[in-house]
């Protein structure tokens, strides 16, 4: 399963959404994900993927696609497979 698919599945489970209905390009707030919920979700993503997201990087993540790009870049930088 690729990184985006894993993130979609993880987000669907976390926020009780249909993974197929999650548009990776949609703004998170349009998916009903508020900022506090997203921060809590990010802690779980960091643990799940073994990556770290700084507060500054977090500000730039507005969609699941943004999150996927960040996770993939962090995994590549760490020499881990996506």
Distance CA(66)–CA(69), nearest Å, equals 5
Residue ranges per structural domain of the chain: 3-77
Residue in 77, 81, 78 with CA at minimum distance from that of residue 3: 81
* Total Cβ atoms within 10 A of residue 55: 7
Phi and psi at 63, nearest 5°, equal: -140, 165
pLDDT tens figures, 55-76: 898 899 999 999 999 999 988 8
CATH code 1.10.1200.10 for 3-77: yes
- Quick one: pLDDT at residue 78? 80
pLDDT tens figures, 12-59: 999 999 988 889 999 999 988 998 999 999 999 999 999 998 889 889
């Amino acid at each position: 399963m690729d990184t985006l698919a894993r993130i979609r599945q993880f987000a669907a489970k976390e926020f009780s959404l249909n993974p197929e209905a999650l548009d990776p390009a949609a703004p998170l707030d349009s998916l009903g994900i508020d900022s506090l919920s997203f921060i809590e979700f990010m802690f779980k993503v960091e643990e799940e993927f073994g990556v770290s997201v700084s507060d500054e990087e977090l500000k730039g993540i507005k969609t699941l696609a943004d999150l996927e790009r960040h996770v993939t870049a962090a995994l590549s930088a760490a020499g881990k497979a996506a």
